[in-house]
Amino acid sequence: MPDVGIQGGRRGITAAAVPALVDKAREGDPRSVGRLVSLVEDESPLLPELTRILAPHAGNARIIGLTGSPGVGKSTSTNALIGELRKRGQRVAVLAVDPSSPFSGGALLGDRIRMGDHVLDPGVFIRSMAARGHLGGLAWTTPQALRVLDAAGFDVVLVETVGVGQSEVEVAGQADTTIVLLAPGMGDGIQAAKAGILEIGDLYVVNKADREGADKVRRDLRSMLGLAERRDGAWKPPVLKTTASTGEGVEEVVDAIEQHGAWLRESGELHKRRVRRARGEIETLALTALRRRWGLVGEGDRLDELARAVVAGETDPYAAADRLL
Amino acid sequence: MPDVGIQGGRRGITAAAVPALVDKAREGDPRSVGRLVSLVEDESPLLPELTRILAPHAGNARIIGLTGSPGVGKSTSTNALIGELRKRGQRVAVLAVDPSSPFSGGALLGDRIRMGDHVLDPGVFIRSMAARGHLGGLAWTTPQALRVLDAAGFDVVLVETVGVGQSEVEVAGQADTTIVLLAPGMGDGIQAAKAGILEIGDLYVVNKADREGADKVRRDLRSMLGLAERRDGAWKPPVLKTTASTGEGVEEVVDAIEQHGAWLRESGELHKRRVRRARGEIETLALTALRRRWGLVGEGDRLDELARAVVAGETDPYAAADRLL
C-alpha cells in the first residue's frame, strides 16, 4: 500500500523541510516529487512557501493535455505516448486528474497497473489526483501540481482528464497543447459539440482506428472543425488516427505535438497562453483567500449575518455584497 | 418572431422605467415579466436597482427544481405538473435553464410549442434562459430571474434544468424542493451516482412508468437512497412513478411536493435553505464585482500586469494574489 507511506510522509512535512524536499525532487527522486504533489492535493498551508521556492525553476516543461470521454482509450494512449516520448529522450510526468472522484488512492494504483510498461522507468513519473479539496477543486490544484512536475525537471507533463464537463475544460486549459481523444461508436460528434470540445483541441486523435466507423468520425470532425472561422496564421488542428493498443499512429501524434509546440513559440501564442493561465491562477488564489476571509471574520460569520438580513427582507443581495466589500 | 419585440424592449428600458415595469409585472402583465427576466439574462447595469425594488415582494413563491438527463421527459413532466397545479388554483411560472446553450431564442420557441397546453393560460408564464452572460453563468442569473418571478406573484416557480453536471446541481440548489426525474432504459443508476444526483433530490420520479424496467429503476434507486445515512426527523425522499404523457401519477407528485413543503416549514429547513441561498448569491455578486474591478483598475489591467510578472519569473502566483488583495 504505497499510499500509507505517502500519508505518513505528508504529516511529517514542516516548512523547514520544504527546500530540501524540492532539491531532492529536482534531483529526480520520485518519492519527493510525490510528496510535493500530496502537499498540493491536501491544500497544505505550506503551499505559498512551496510556490515561492518552485517558481524560479518552472516554465520549462511542455504541458500536454489529454482529454476524452470515458472509453475512448485515454490510459492506453497515455501509455503509448509515454513510450514514444521516451524513445525521443524526454523525461515524462503524467498527472491524471479525476473531477468526479474524491479519492485518489485507488485510481493511483489502477493507473500504475494500466500504465505498467513504465512503472520501473526512472524517466517516468505517474500520479493521479482527485477533487478532494474544498478550496476550489481541480481548477485550484492542477496548476500547482503542474508547477511541481515542471520544476522537478520533466521535459513533458501530460495532464489526463475525463472530458465531460466544465471542470475538465478548465483543466485542459492548463495545457500548452490540448489533445482531444475520440473513438468510433460513441456518438462522439454530438458529445464533442455539447462539451465545447471543438473549441479546446489543438490536436484531435481518433483512437481505435481499427474499428468500424473511425474514418467517419474523422470526416465528421474535420468538417465540423472546418466550419469554425480561423484567423490568418492561426493553428489548424489536425485530426489524426491511432490504435494506441498497438502503437499505430502514435509517432505521428508526437510529431504533431512538436509541430504545435514550434507554432506556439513562433506565433507568440505560448507566452499569451501562459500569461492567461497565470492570470487565472492569481485570480483563483485571490478569490479563495477572500472567501476564506469572509467565512470567518471577527467574532461571527459576516456572510451568514448578511444572508439572514436578506432573507428577513432587511436588505437585498446587491446591497449586502456591497457591504461585504 | 417574438424575440425581436423583446430585444427592442430591452434596449428601451431606462432606470426610471424600472418601477413601472415592476408594477405592471406584479399586476400580471406577462410582457413586463418577460422584459424583467431579459434584464437579468442580459446582465443589465440596472440589476442592482431592480433587485432593490423586487426584494420586498419576493419570498412567497415555492421554488420547485426539476432536473434529469436528456430524454427522461422533463418538458412533458413540466407540462403535466403545470396542469395539476393549475387545477389546484396555483399561478405557475416556469424557468427553463440550459447551461449548454448560449442562446435562448430557439429554446424559448421550442418550449412554448412543447408546453403548448398552457400557452394561452394567463396563470402560466414560461420562459427559457441560456448561459449567455459572462459574469458567472447561470449560477449568477438564476437566483435573480427567480426573484423576478417570485415578486411577480406566482405561487409556484418551476426551474427546469438538464441534470448532467455541476452547474445543473447548482441551479437545482436554488430550489426549495428539487425533483430528480429518471426513466427506464437510460443507465440512470450510474448517471445518478456520477452526477451527485442522489444528494440533491427531495423527490425522485421515475417517468415513463409504462415502459419495461421502470420498477427496477425504482427499486435500485430506493436501495441506493436507503444506504444514505439520514438524521432523525430528516426528510426521506419518496420515489414515485409517473407517465407524464397521460398524466398518470402526477397528482401524487404534487401531493408529495406539498408534503415536502410542509416539512420544510415545520422543520425550519426552509429558512435554512433560504439563508444558504442568499449567502451564495451575496458571495457570487461580491466576487463578480471584485473580478470586474480587478479586470480594469486605474490605467491598466492590474491582473494582466501581475500575470506577466509571474510568467517572467519576477513574482509567484501567491505573492501576486496577495498584491491584488
Q: Which three cell numbers stand for residue A169?
A: 475544460
CB-based burial label for B123 (10 Å; 0-12, 13-18, 19+): middle
Residue with cell 398524466: B247
Instruction: Select the residue of B285, B290, B321 nearest A285 (Cβ to Cβ).
Output: B321
Nearest-CB residue to A282 (from B55, B276, B306): B306
Specify burial of residue A180 (Cβ count, 10 A radius: 0-12, 13-18, 19+): buried
- Please report where in the chains the cell 418571478 appears, as a residue: B149
CB B144, CB B58: distance < 8 Å: no
Nearest one of B181, B166, B144, B7 to B63, comparing CA atoms: B144
pLDDT of A43 reads 83
> Which residues in chain B have their CB less than 8 angstroms from residue A286's CB?
294, 321, 324-325
pLDDT for A203 equals 95
The whole-angstrom distance between residue B182's C-alpha and the CA centroid of its chain comes to 18
Q: Which residues of A222-250 are buried (b: 16+ CB within 10 A; e: fewer)?
A: eeebeeeeeeeeebebbbbbbbbeeeebb
Nearest CA in chain A to B196: A100
A80 with A66: CB under 8 angstroms?
no
Determine the Cα–Cα distance for residues B76 and B68; give it in Å rounded to an integer: 12
Question: d(Cα A62, Cα A74) in Å, to the nearest integer?
Answer: 19
Distance CA B85, CA B124 (A): 10
Q: What pLDDT was estimated at residue A118?
A: 75
Could you tell me which chain A residue has the CA closest to the CA of B271? A311
Instruction: Give the closest of A194, A279, A291 to B304, CB-based.
Output: A279
DSSP annotation of B91 reads -
Are the beta carbons of B128 and B100 closer than 8 angstroms? no
Cβ distance B59 to A313 less than 8 Å, yes or no, reads yes
Nearest CA in chain B to A167: B166
- Give CATH superfamily name and number for B58-267: P-loop containing nucleotide triphosphate hydrolases (3.40.50.300)
The domain spans of chain A are 57-267, 278-324
A282 to B321: CB separation less than 8 angstroms, yes or no: yes
Give this prediction's pTM: 0.67
Instruction: With beta carbons less than 8 A apart as the criterion, state whether A50 and A17 touch.
Output: no
**B164 contacts on A by Cβ (under 8 Å):** 165
Q: What is the pLDDT along chain A (325 residues), one digit of tens a residue?
A: 333 333 334 556 888 899 999 999 999 899 999 999 989 988 888 999 999 999 989 999 999 999 887 788 888 999 999 999 999 999 999 998 865 554 444 344 455 555 567 777 888 998 888 765 555 566 678 899 999 999 999 999 999 886 555 656 676 678 999 999 988 877 655 555 554 667 788 999 999 999 998 998 898 888 878 766 677 778 999 999 999 999 999 999 999 999 999 999 999 999 999 998 888 888 888 888 887 777 654 445 788 888 888 888 888 888 888 888 7
CATH 2.70.150.10 fits A57-267, yes or no: no
Nearest in space to B166 (alpha carbons), one of A275, A209, A137, A172: A137
Q: Are A67 and A163 in contact (CB under 8 A)?
A: yes
Average pLDDT of the segment spanning B219-244: 85
Residue B284's identity, in one-letter code, is T
CB atoms within 10 A of CB A16: 8
Q: Find out whether B286 and A307 touch, Cβ atoms under 8 Å.
A: no
Contact at CB, A287 and B286, closer than 8 angstroms? no
Q: Which residue of B has its CA nearest to A195?
A: B100
Contact residues, chain A, for B303 at CB < 8 Å: 279, 282-283
List the grid coordinates of B8: 427592442
With contacts defined as CB-CB under 8 Å, which chain A residues touch B306?
278-279, 282
Amino acid found at B147 = R
Q: Which residue has the cell 434544468?
A: B161
Chain A residues with CB under 8 Å of B276 CB are: 307
Q: CB-CB: which of A48, A59, A275 is closest to B313?
A: A59
Model confidence over B100-127: pLDDT tens digits? 554 444 344 455 555 567 777 888 998 8
For an interface test with A, which of B316, B322, B324, B325 has the most A Cβ atoms less than 10 Å from its Cβ? B316
- By residue count, chain A amounts to 325
Q: Which residues of B touch A50 (CB under 8 A)?
A: none
**Would you call A178 helix, strand, or coil by DSSP?**
strand
Chain A hits for B281, CB-CB cut-off 8 Å, are 310, 317
